[in-house]
Every structure is written in structure tokens, then in C-alpha cells.
Amino acid sequence: MIQLLLLIFANTAFAADRIGNGGGVWSCETPQAIDNIMFVDFFEARTEFQLEIKEKNIFYFSEYTERKNWIQNNLDFGNEIQKNFNFIEQNINYADAELQLIEDALYRIIPGSSFCPNGKWKYTQLVNFNEYSKVLIRKDLWESPLLSSTSKAGVLIHEGVYSYLREKFNEKDSVRTRIITGLVFSTLSDSDKVQKINEILKGTTPPPPPPPPVTSYYCALQGDLVGAAYIAETKSATVSTSQVQQECAIKEHSSIHCSQNVVCEKITTSEEHFACGVKGGFGNSYSGTGRVQVEAQANVLNECIKKESSPIFCPKLKDIICEQF
């Protein structure tokens, strides 16, 4: 497992700068409610690294204190990190609102659909540091019985470790933090935990060549009622997906009318390479272009709906045929 952890570190530690920080969860969202919540660090620890993490039936802050003390007593940086934990404890604020997504997760796996049979998994920001150095925690998720006491303790350890790594190593993403948090809560022996955490922090594996630059991710979602294509373009497919889902739910007056799959494509050029054409209900022709196919499809669909005044005279987004040039 050490080799796998080091390989993941090597592939992420030298990634491009990402602004922001905070822990996240996987939430199973249905039209009615959230049916399941998985703390990302523990999901990855169990699924990707086959670590065993046992849930303790004690108050989350008590378990957090136990793990914090273990770090202090067993790790070389144990005393140094205590000020980071103190800062987290003293600056927590509970927000009765959704938190802005942060592009620092770089997650590699998503929970299976069998754990969310009636909805869709969504990466959700649970904690966020704001510009006033306050630790914002999304209140409804934190108080949900779906988030276990051990997961809450893990969230606080995550925030302290991430704060320390940003300060000490100028960390730009939460990958190493999530691995370390999983190890701290695992059933491995103390000596194995210490060895693996030290290997993670040393990062002795040579980094691979940098990946080609990614400009952005363009995502589109067609609503069922209004019929328009809702679009978003950011540096993260996760953020773009979340934005189109939120806009669709607002414009269509309910997420129930946003049942279509979100289509995303990576954009690495400023030049347009796709052209699409459709016919409206009265024989009018409409055209649209884009850097990727979904952008051209969204452009021509929205033009058709705008001119025809009704989505029934325009094709579905997924049925629009385009040509590459």
C-alpha cells in the first residue's frame, strides 16, 4: 500500500496552483432529500487503500481529541501542529447555507450507484475557510444523522492537518491530507501508521512529467420544462456540473425538471471546431458553433428555443448532430 500512496502523491503534489481549502463529503441527492453522506477521506481510505476504519459510538469531539493527542504523541510534527488544531477549534462557524465548491479535491473515485439507488452522488463542500479566517461548516450536513460521529471527528482532523500542510509545505490540494486522515483513523498499528505517514510527507518518489494544461470544462444540462440548455465553464468538471444543476433547478423551478444527464467536455483551445444545425417547427433553420461539440449543441438549441418561443419545436440537446471542422 505504501507504493500506491506514494504514486498518488507523486501524481498530485506538483499540480498547478489551486486556491481555497476545506473538507468535502459525497452526498446522495434525490429530488426529495439527501439519502446518504460519505466523508470523502474515509470513503477513499476504505475503498481505495483497503484500510479498516471503525465507527466509535462516542461524542465526536471526544474522538477528535483522542486522534489529535495520538498525532501529538506519535508524529514528528505532533507538537508543531497543535496550534493549527487550536485555530480550527476557536474559529468554527456554522453556516445555514450551501458552501462554495473548492477546486482542491482532485478525487479519483466516486461511490457506486448501489449506495445511492434513488438519486445521484454529488461532491459537496462541507467545510470552507473564508477570507476572514473563519472555518465555515455547512450546518444542515453537520447536524444530519447521516454524518457519523467518527466522520465529524475526521473532518476536524482533516482541517487541522490541511492547515498545517498549507503552512509548512504550501500545499495546493487536499490529496495528502485525506490519505493522512484515513491513516490516523485506521486500525493499523501505531508503528505502521507512523511509517506510512512519514513516507507520504517525504514524497521521495520522483514526480512525473507535468500533465498538459487544461483550460476549462464546459458542461451543459437541458431542462425538462423550459427546455433551455443551462451551461457553465470552469476549471473543474465538478464545479461546472454543480453550477448547471443549480441553475437548472432555479430556472426550471425544481430539480425534478432537471432529470437529464449533465454533459461535460474538456476545452483546451480557444478556436471553434464544431458546427451544428437544426430546424424549428416552422421550417426555420438555426446554427451554432463551439470549441467542443456540447458547446455548439447548447448554442444552437438556445437559439432555436429563443426564436421559436417553445421547446416543443426544437430537438433535444443529445439529438443535435454536429460536424467537426
Q: Could you tell me the CA-to-CA distances from 51 to 189, 192, 316 in Å, in that order?
A: 12, 12, 45
Q: Say what the pLDDT of residue 90 is.
A: 94
**Cβ atoms of residues 152 and 60 within 8 Å:** yes
Percent of the chain with pLDDT over 70: 89
Strands 274-279 and 322-324: antiparallel
Q: Would the pLDDT of 27 be above 90?
A: yes
As a whole number, the mean pLDDT across the chain is 86
192 & 276 share domain: no
122 & 265 share domain: no
Model pLDDT for residues 131-153, shown as the tens digit of each residue: 567 899 999 999 999 999 999 99
Of 177, 202, 227, which marks where a domain is finished? 202
Of 169, 202, 235, which marks where a domain is finished? 202
Q: Confirm whether pTM is higher than 0.85.
A: no
Give the range among 90-94, 110-114, 224-228, 306-310 with minimum mean pLDDT: 306-310
Q: Could you tell me the CA-to-CA distances from 256 to 26, 109, 260 in Å, in that order?
A: 20, 26, 10
155 & 194 share domain: yes
Q: Say what the pLDDT of residue 212 is.
A: 55
**Cβ atoms of residues 205 and 9 within 8 Å:** yes
What average pLDDT does this structure show over 303-312? 86
Degrees, nearest 5: CA angle 96-64-142: 20
Q: Say what the pLDDT of residue 130 is.
A: 66
- Max distance between CA atoms of the chain, in angstroms, equals 76
Assign 3-state DSSP to the chain and report helix, strand, coil percentages, each to 5.
Answer: 40, 20, 40
Q: Could you tell me the CA-to-CA distances from 131 to 20, 99, 110, 128 in Å, in that order?
A: 10, 13, 30, 10
- What's the rounded Cα separation, in Å, for the pair 44 and 23? 13
**Cβ atoms of residues 301 and 311 within 8 Å:** no
In a domain, 304, yes or no: yes
Of 180, 202, 224, which marks where a domain is finished? 202
Closest by CA position to 188, among listed 314, 51, 56: 51
HSE, side-chain direction, 13 A CA sphere, residue 234: 14
When pLDDT is cut at 50, 70 and 90, the band that residue 311 belongs to is confident
Model pLDDT for residues 182-213, shown as the tens digit of each residue: 999 999 999 999 999 999 998 744 444 455 55
Degrees, nearest 5: CA angle 156-97-113: 75
In a domain, 210, yes or no: no
Give the range among 99-108, 160-169, 255-264, 287-296 with minimum mean pLDDT: 99-108
Q: Say what the pLDDT of residue 309 is.
A: 78
Q: Say what the pLDDT of residue 134 is.
A: 85
Residue 226, judged by CB atoms within 10 A of its CB (0-12, 13-18, 19+), counts as middle
21 & 152 share domain: yes
Q: Which amino acid is at 168?
A: K
When pLDDT is cut at 50, 70 and 90, the band that residue 292 belongs to is very high
In a domain, 234, yes or no: yes
Q: Say what the pLDDT of residue 241 is.
A: 92
Q: Could you tell me the CA-to-CA distances from 204 to 13, 108, 190 in Å, in that order?
A: 11, 22, 22
**Cβ atoms of residues 194 and 75 within 8 Å:** yes
Q: Say what the pLDDT of residue 18 is.
A: 35
Q: Would the pLDDT of 21 be above 70?
A: no
What average pLDDT does this structure show over 277-296? 90
Question: Can you say whether residue 4 is alpha, beta or left, with left for phi > 0 and alpha for psi between -120 and 50 degrees?
Answer: alpha
Closest by CA position to 38, among listed 96, 110, 102, 98: 110
Q: Say what the pLDDT of residue 308 is.
A: 86
Q: How many domains does the chain have?
A: 2
As given in the structure block, the three cell numbers for residue 189 are 498499528
Q: Say what the pLDDT of residue 210 is.
A: 52
Domain range for 312: 216-324
245 & 194 share domain: no
178 & 221 share domain: no
28 & 175 share domain: yes
Model pLDDT for residues 212-259, shown as the tens digit of each residue: 555 789 999 999 988 889 999 998 889 999 999 999 999 988 889 898
